[in-house]
Amino acid sequence: MPPPTFLQNPQRVRPILILGVDVISEHPKRFAVVSWFNGRLERKGEFTLYRLIRFIQSKRPDIVAMDSITELGDDLRKFLRALPSGTKLVQVTGRPGEQRSLQSLAREHGIRTFDRFDPYEEAKLSALLASKGVGYEVLAFEDEVIIRVTRGRSHGKGGWSQDRYRKRVHNLVRDKVREIEESLRRADIPFDLETEEKDYGLAKGEFKVYASREELAGLIRPMRGGDVEVRIQPVERAELGFAPLKGEEAVMGRKSIIVGIDPGITVGIAAIDLSGNIVALHSQRNMPVGEVFRFISEIGHPVIVATDVKPAPGFVEKIARSFKASLFVPRESLRVEEKNELLRNLGISVDDDHQRDALAAAYKAYLRLKPKLEHVEARLREAGLSRKADEVKALVIQGYNLGEAMQRVTLRERPREEEEHEEGPSFDVRPYIRRIRELERRIEFLERENAELREVIKEQKRVIGRLERRIADYDEEIRRKVLRERELEAKVKRIEVLEKQLREAKAVIERLGRDLVQVKRMNVVEIRGSAVPLKVMNVLSWRELERLEREIGIKRGDVLFVVNPAGAGRAIAEELVEKGIKALITEKPLPGPVRNVLREAHVPFFTGDELDVKRVDEFAVVERETLERAIEELLARWEEEDREREAERLLRLVEEYRIERVKELRRKAEEEARAEHRKA
């Protein structure tokens, strides 16, 4: 069957680098250094304390081993502070008050000794013993770190400009505190936070983080030289502690297990062995990260750390990296029903949901590996290596093929050959030998000092070149980041525009829905014949009239509805009369010229309020009975008015005729009188 796909980046056990250190002379203080890497010893030379610290910081070894840390004298604390993250200082001879000699420890662990007065020989023994897990780690720091966020430079004195700068810096401090707080929460690292508010921002913030500085490596970065400073300070122990060293062999000797973890306020932990048996089941509220590590370490060595959700929480990923274990993530988050089914198959009850989730994650990982593990077990029975089944299974899970794993376990089982030990001299020549060798080494050191300094200069030039290349790469990365941010900003703006259009479209759809209901009602009324449809014009203009003609058409007997007739004149009113409309209804009063034309042509006109017109956008109706009655009444009133006007006109004509006749008779009488007078 194909190999399982859930193991993320399976890696083989990483070879460790150990530096053995022994003092050569006190004044000036010089040290002999021997390195142990993957079983190979190499003499590194003689170092001052300053050069030794720089060498350790550049090589970043896993262990710096010494027979006694008192050889560092007053520089011990300074040396411990300078160690890189992940580098342990180990005293191989034991904790203070229980120390043993290097030679006795070497004989006990089958290491051949030679000249015990040679500092390089003692440095070599320290490295070899540390590689076998012998010794005690020197603990100088608590599993706590103080992170201080403050302003980077003084505000100085000034006016309005200086006040704006101070407020800006306090806002930057607040933003940096929020950024660190969010990073710690995402990594599930517990902490306490104290802040000092100022200018609607923060003057400073201080985190007390309950984790080691190794856990914060790469998560929180110190900052100096700008407007905001971030300082990371491990909490030193009042007294040095000593913890037994668990070397590579000690880790290999522990029981291999599969660990399931449910992170949160209450942490759930479950462990099963590679045969599917439950080893441990535990849950605890507010369980510190260090305590989780110690709890798992006491059970065994995890080869797989599993979670029940996808994607994996940062807390679970961190524990997997710390143990160099493979991470199991299900293809999709496990459902509650599936978890309960897994526990029923195991035939076990749990105290709470956190234990259930952790155990379900571990058992799900085991079931995914079970076919492969059963195949390995069958092959081991055939080869007669059933006793070492767990070791071989662990190596196979870590990425070795079955043949390589069986070979490593077989070689580890070979008995060690007894080594011969040489007796030391019967008389004390140590002071003389030490002095002679010290002088020889000093001469050798002075001869190569110049060469080493030249190498340092070359190395610095290489570092400068590398940093210049990194700066160029960083500039390119910043440019790409800016382009990505611009692209993202454009997409965000596009989304905002589309969301606005969507909201507007929804509003239109809602309004049209209401209009459609009203139109349906109007259509029903129209079909029944109880209403008259009106042809709607927004304004009484030639352009609007042409649009109505083009889209709907105007025929004789139509009733028009005009929203705003203001500004219309006699010409357009005469056009409507020419088209033979039955009536004109307006929302606002008609202009005088239009009213006169329609009145003269006996075309009725009304306002919408008089007839109770029902209108939806481009549609309007009026009840037929109401319209007909209003038209009849208006035409009757106009006819009565016309009769009255005609009667008045006739009376005026008669009166005008009578007056003219009287005038004519008077004029004739006067003419006759003048004629008779002339005759007389």
- Tell me which of 39-43, 118-122, 440-444 is least confident: 440-444
**Model confidence at 51, in pLDDT bands (50, 70, 90)?**
very high
Measure the CA–CA gap between 116 and 139, rounded to whole angstroms. Answer: 28
Reply yes or no on whether the pLDDT at 225 is more than 80. no
Q: How many CB atoms lie within 10 A of CB 184?
A: 20
Quick one: pLDDT at residue 499? 92
CATH of domain 254-413: 3.30.420
Measure the CA–CA gap between 35 and 25, rounded to whole angstroms. Answer: 20
Quick one: pLDDT at residue 8? 33
Which of 1.20.58, 3.10.590, 3.30.70, 3.30.565 is the CATH number of 143-239? 3.30.70
Structure tokens at 479: 């440019």
Structure tokens at 282: 């535990």
Nearest to 121 by CA among 246, 262, 230, 24: 24
Quick one: pLDDT at residue 525? 56
Over residues 598-632, the pLDDT tens digits come to: 888 888 988 888 887 877 666 788 888 888 888 88
Cα distance between the two ends of the chain: 161
Q: Give buried/exposed letters for 627-657 (b at 16+ CB in 10 A, else e).
A: beebbeebeeeeeeeeeeeeeeeeeeeeeee
**Residue bearing tokens 């069957």:** 1
In sequence order, the 6+-apart residues with CB closer than 8 A to the CB of 465 are: none
Over residues 107-140, the pLDDT tens digits come to: 888 888 777 778 899 999 999 999 888 889 888 8
In sequence order, the 6+-apart residues with CB closer than 8 A to the CB of 180 are: 147, 149, 205, 207, 220, 230
Structure tokens at 68: 């006694």
- Tell me which of 429-443, 561-575, 576-590 is least confident: 429-443
CA of residue 294 relative to chain centroid, distance: 30
Nearest to 526 by CA among 635, 605, 627: 627
Rounded average pLDDT over 157-163: 57
**Model confidence at 187, in pLDDT bands (50, 70, 90)?**
confident
Quick one: pLDDT at residue 566? 86
Measure the CA–CA gap between 279 and 259, rounded to whole angstroms. Answer: 10
In sequence order, the 6+-apart residues with CB closer than 8 A to the CB of 380 are: 386, 388, 389, 392, 406
Say if CB 257 and CB 273 are below 8 A apart.
yes
Nearest to 192 by CA among 201, 200, 184: 184
Quick one: pLDDT at residue 286? 74
Over residues 632-670, the pLDDT tens digits come to: 888 888 888 888 888 888 888 888 888 888 888 888 888
CA of residue 671 relative to chain centroid, distance: 122
Indicate the average pLDDT of the chain: 80
Residue of 451 and 94 predicted with greater confidence: 94
Quick one: pLDDT at residue 307? 92
Nearest to 9 by CA among 344, 281, 268, 321: 321
Quick one: pLDDT at residue 52? 93
Residue 532: C-alpha distances to residues 33, 411, 522, 540, 558 (Å): 109, 105, 10, 21, 9
What H or E segment, with its residue span, contains residue 561?
strand 559-564
Reply yes or no on whether the pLDDT at 45 is more than 80. yes
- Between strands 559-564 and 583-586, the pairing is parallel
Structure tokens at 321: 């990296």
Quick one: pLDDT at residue 501? 92
Query: 209 by DSSP, 3-state: which?
Result: strand
Class of domain 7-134: alpha beta
Is residue 208 packed enough to be buried (19+ CB in 10 Å), middle (13-18) or exposed (0-12)?
A: middle
Reply yes or no on whether the pLDDT at 248 is more than 50. no
